[in-house]
Each structure stands twice: as C-alpha cells, then as structure tokens.
Amino acid sequence: MEDVKSRGPFIYSVLESAQAFLAQHPFQEPEETLADGKEVSPRRRILNVSRSVWKQANVASDLHMEMTLERLLQIQAAMEELAVALEQAEGVRAAWEPVGDLFIDSLQDHIDATKLFKEELTQVKEGMKHINDLAHQLAISDVHLSMASIEERLKQLQDAHRDFGPGSQHFLSSSVQIPWERAISPNKVPYYINHQAQTTCWDHPKMTELYQALADMNNIKFSAYRTAMKLRKVQKALRLDLVALTSLVDVFREQELQQGEHVMDVVEMIHGLTSLYEKLEEERSILVNIPLCVDMCLNWLLNVYDSARNGKMRALSFKMGLVSLCNADVQEKYKYLFRQVSGAGGLTDQRHLSLLLHEAIQIPRQLGKSLLSGAATWSPASAAASASLLDHLWRGSTPSPVITLYFVPTLLLVYIWIVYSLLHFFPPSLPIFFIFQAPGKPAIEVSHFLEWMSLEPQSMVWLPVLHRVAAAESTKHQAKCYVCKQCPIKGFRYRSLKQFNVDICQTCFLTGRTTKGKKLHYPIMEYYTPVSFVSPNFLPPPPLTTPNPSPP
C-alpha cells in the first residue's frame, strides 16, 4: 500500500494522459439512419458529435473534481492532525518552568523530557512534509493553493498602518489646496508640487507667503528688533504663542525625548507635533487646523535645523525650537533649556553649554547672520583680558550703570565698552561663563547661566527682545510721538533722557525716521508696558549701538 502511495503522482499523470487522449479521439457511435433509409443530415450529425463530446467532457470534469476533492480532503485531514499536534506541543512548552526555579535533583528528568519532546516535534515536521507533498500533487493537476501567508498579510497590514495609520503623514495631505500637492521623499521629508506651474519646492505654500511677509520688516534698522519681530510673526503663524511650556514638557515626556542627544526622524517629529496641537485644541477649547499647523511647524524646524533635508534632527534642536517660541516666562525657558544639558547635580560643562547655545543661534541665523556678525572678529585673548577686567569691576562695589551715568562718566565709558565688547561680540563657544564661577568649581551652575542671560548677550538678545515685543503689542501709552504725532503711542515707547518731553513711537524709532533738521539724541529709555513700569532696557549712545541697516 505504501508503495502505491509513493507512486501516486505517476499513476495520476498516466490517468490524466488517457483522459486527454479520449477527449481528442471520442468513440464513434454508429450513424443514425432514418426509417426510410435516408442518411442523417449534416446538421444532425454535428449535433450528435457535440452531444457526445459534451458528455465525455462532463465525465472527465467530474473525475477531475473528484480527484481534486479527495486530495483537498486529505490535506484538510492532515492539517487538522498537525494543528492538534502543534497545540499539544504549545501546551507542553507553556507548562515549562523557568530553569532557575527547578530543583537540582530534577534537572536530569527535565533533560529527558525535553529530548522526548524534541522527538515528538520530529513527527510534526514529517506531518508538514506530508502536507507539502499533497499540495505538490494538486499542483501537478493544475490546482494551485493560495500563496497568501501570515507573513504576507502582516506585511500588508504594516504597510497600511505606515501609510494611513496614526503615525503616517497621510492626514497632512489636507494642509495644501489645489493646485498644490504634498509629496514625501524617500527619507520621509515632505516637499510640495505645484501642478499648475509644474514646480517643486521644500517650503509649504503658506510658509512661502510668510517669508514674503517677513521681508516687509527689513526696514527695521536694529537687527535684534528686526529678528525678534520676524520671530513673533512666525510664532503667531505656528500658533506657538498659545502653547504653554508645561504642555511641551508633557509631550516631550510622552514621546520619550528626555535625552537631548537622541536623533529624531520626520515621523517622530510629526508624532510629537500632532500630540502638541491636539493638546492645545483640548486645553484651550479652540479650533486648530492641526494638519496645517503640524506641516508649517515641521517646515520651520527643518528650515532651521535640517536645511539639507536629511530627515534627521537632534531632540535638543527640536526642544530648542519649540521652547523658544512657546508661551512662557523667559526665565522659565532659560531654566528648562539649561536642564537639558545639565547633569544629575544641576551642573553642566563648557562643551554641553556650547552645544545649547549653538542650537539657540540657529534660530536667528535662519533669518540672517547680521545679528551675529560681530562675533567673528572677536579674539579669545581680547575676550580673556576684558573678562578679567569685568570680573574685577563686578567683584568690587561698583555702582549701578544708571547712577554711574551721572556721577562717574569715565568709569561708565570703560564699563559700557567692556560690557558691549564682551557680551555683544563674544562667541558662545568660548568659556565666558567661568567669569561667574566660584573659585574651585569646574562646572557651570544655573544661577551663573541666568546671570549671564540677564545681561542680554548679542548672541541671545533676540529671545528677551521677542518677549518684550509680545508684551508691547497690546500696550498703549498716553503720549504723542515727537516725529509722526501718533497719539496714543501703541507698542514700544522711546523717551529721550537728554531732550525734554520727547517720546517716539516704535515705528519711527526702529525705522530711523526723524523730523527735518533734528536728530535723535541718546541715551534713550524704552517702555514696553504702561507708564507705571519702566523697562530696564537702557540704550547707550549711537557709537556703541550702530543700527545694522542690512536685512537678515
């Protein structure tokens, strides 16, 4: 019997060949004759032949179906037996105890049981081979089983989840309108196709419009204010002015972005931004165009930290961009950013702090390098000399700058020159923070960092100015502009400390507008809140704060 089964494929192939031969050479039935002896008409003969062929075809088809059904039943029975054997094997495996929980005396028994289990699995393997042989016999009969498998279905599900799941970029396609289309490069970086103009670009159409609007601010002569006002416009366009720092911290924790050196890909960035704007919509109870905000914010972050569009970004860069433009007190931002590069003891070193400042500088650099132009000409030797002198002045009982203005003019000039030279042209990669360190401490504390940031160094001045710009937006001063006669003055108000009753609005001051034959005299005091509060921002004479007319 076993020999017959082993030769089964050969027997089936011989039977099929016989069926094919009979189908091509049907038996000739005796020709019918009519009662009067006349021959059958050709049409009747054709019908008889067709009927005979159809009958033989039905017989062959029935035989083929019976054979196929028999083999399928054999496969089904074999698979059921195999399923039972696999279920039993899984049950035995699930009953295994951890090796560490076994008694030493029972180890040999478990070894023997495992060997026996291995032998039983050999029978399961033979069952799989038998099923494959049955499937091969069906293939000989031109009956092919479906090739769909668990791995293939899993791959299809994973592809669908990647393309249309919550971590995909499919929902961001609604961020653009016709004739624009959002496309994705192989490294998952989005780009945009204009089908009408048949062009492609990295920037979102709305981002392009935003950059064109920022060009209108190029008439602002002071680079720090020009940069801050441009960033304020970007901040409001991205809706980050509504995002609280606590919400950002929650999102960073949910996305497991605690390590600043972690490198994020575009999908991770989209995940984080989507969670952020969904949280904003929930907390503020406002309607947020999440696809547009996510796409715009991603576009801005890539422009700042990944202009080459490699699709990668450090988590520290991601945090720096969002924290800098979120809605929080500037001191809280400083503290949070410092914690991202500090160790367990709350201390950091020069290398990590330089990395933090490098990430911060990329934000104004993306708008232009004019804000940082002076840093390139500052030498470390000059910086060290000025740092020592400045440290000597601070360690003494030096009066405040405003009091010194009226009582110690010579010392004031030296003080202003040193402060301006050191803090406004000092490259952040140099060890300036060691000025503030206590003797014997090799690292930098947060108090040292906050003290330095309170001096508004040129490399970071854009951030506190951004906060003053935001605070001054809704401020009205009951005064008339000396130049354009606007009353009340909205936004910043600048009062001359040398000329009596001279107030200037922010538009006239920042664009350098003056009246005929009259120039603005320094020093100037800046007000960005109502008259009961005076801004601590003291503006020195023009030779020390020469406006930079070149746009970013």
Query: What is the DSSP secondary-structure string of 447-461?
Result: HHHHHHHHT--TTTT
**What SS3 class is residue 30?**
coil
- Between 99 and 461, residue with greater pLDDT: 461
Cβ(356)–Cβ(316) under 8 Å? Answer: yes
Mean pLDDT of 94-119: 80
pLDDT of residue 19: 66
439 falls in which pLDDT band (50, 70, 90)?
Answer: very low
Cβ(296)–Cβ(238) under 8 Å? Answer: yes
pLDDT of residue 1: 52
Distance CA 362, CA 366 (A): 6
* Helix (DSSP H) and strand (DSSP E) numbers for the chain: 19, 11
Q: Which segment, 35-39, 157-161, 260-264, is predicted with the most confidence on average? A: 260-264
Predicted TM-score (pTM) above 0.75: no
Distance CA 236, CA 242 (A): 8
pLDDT of residue 379: 35
Mean pLDDT of 480-499: 82
Mean pLDDT of 402-424: 42
User: Which residues are CB-neighbours of 265 under 8 A, at least 6 positions away?
Assistant: 187, 188, 311, 312
- Between 96 and 403, residue with greater pLDDT: 96
158 pLDDT more than 80:
no
Distance CA 427, CA 376 (A): 7
The secondary structure of 507-526, three-state, reads HHHHHCCCCCCCCCCCCEEE
Q: Give the pairing of strands 524-527 and 503-505.
A: unpaired
405 falls in which pLDDT band (50, 70, 90)?
Answer: very low
Site of tokens 């001045």:
461
- Between 266 and 543, residue with greater pLDDT: 266
Q: Which segment, 35-39, 46-50, 382-386, 421-425, is predicted with the most confidence on average? A: 46-50
Distance CA 362, CA 471 (A): 24
25 pLDDT more than 70:
no
- Between 173 and 251, residue with greater pLDDT: 251
Cβ(390)–Cβ(416) under 8 Å? Answer: no
The dihedral sign for the CA sequence 197, 311, 317, 551 = negative
Tokens standing for 344? 């367990």
377 falls in which pLDDT band (50, 70, 90)?
Answer: very low
Phi and psi torsions of 181, nearest 5°: -140, 135
Lowest model confidence (mean pLDDT) among 250-264, 312-326, 437-451, 467-481:
437-451
Q: Give the pairing of strands 503-505 and 493-496.
A: antiparallel
pLDDT of residue 258: 76
Lowest model confidence (mean pLDDT) among 52-66, 183-197, 330-344, 409-423:
409-423
In angstroms, the first-to-last Cα distance of the chain is 92
Mean pLDDT of 520-540: 64
pLDDT of residue 4: 53
Distance CA 239, CA 216 (A): 21
Tokens standing for 117? 């289990």
Distance CA 208, CA 114 (A): 68
194: part of which helix (H) or strand (E)?
strand 190-194
294 pLDDT more than 90:
yes
Percent of the chain topping pLDDT 90 = 23
